[in-house]
Chain A
């Protein structure tokens, strides 16, 4: 069984068009389908926090988006155009005086780093 979180137009917090006094980017209305029990539970949580269900769901999604962006940016990787997308371990240059163990560790690290896409 599913239910929808959309409300009558008068109550929709996310569908207001921008006006001269509100210069935030226009928002897009979406319909979210959840099973009834979950929808009721979310509604109860939203009421307890004195906010609309729409606002509660939007806040939760924005929080998740921020977490995801943060995760992707543990490492900021710039990739120059035309560089290769992978590297073979045997192509990794060995540093002067590097032990076999150190070299193996750096080869493994290099292959991992090389797999990170441009995330800028």
Chain B
């Protein structure tokens, strides 16, 4: 499963964090041939008057269309999952390349990677500041 791909994933939920959850389109941030780190996406709009957390990228309907998606969506790099590449987590896994809805162009992959790097740096700084 290539990095930068959007594909269907049964993303875990806070109620059952270690089991396949509800179907969402996930973004493959990175991974190995057997496991990947997937970022959560949702087409639910963000509540008005609530600031967007760091790590959230808003995709307009036009941007979504270029990624073969029918509606605008939010991609949350602050909500990610480390999952094995199996059909129990990726329902279309057996379809191979056909499971891929779209692959983000390299500039977008770079932008999303930079956002993830900032989150990791922020997290590391906070942990060091507060101690182990």
For A79, what are the chain B residues with a Cβ–Cβ distance below 8 Å?
Answer: 18, 81-82
* Size bracket of the B interface: 35 or more
Among candidates A80, A82, A92, A113, residue contacting B120 with C-beta atoms closer than 8 Å: A113
Inter-subunit contact B106/A75 (CB<8 Å)? no
Given A80-B89, A83-B84, A102-B30 contact (CB < 8 Å): no
Q: State how many angstroms separate the Cβ of A108 from the closest Cβ of chain B.
A: 8
How far is A68 from B132 in the complex, measured between Cα atoms in Å? 10
State A97–B111 Cα separation when bound (angstroms).
15
Which residue on chain B has the smallest CB distance to residue A87? B32
Closest Cβ of chain B to A99, distance in Å, is 8
Asked if B79 and A82 sit within 8 Å, CB to CB, the answer is no
B3 nearest CB across to chain A (Å): 4
A106 touches B80 (CB 8 A): no
Known: A80-B81, A98-B106. A93 touches B130 (CB 8 A): no
Is the CB–CB distance between B126 and A78 below 8 Å? no
Q: Within 8 Å of chain A (Cβ to Cβ): is B35?
A: yes
Residue contact A96 to B2, C-beta cutoff 8 Å: yes
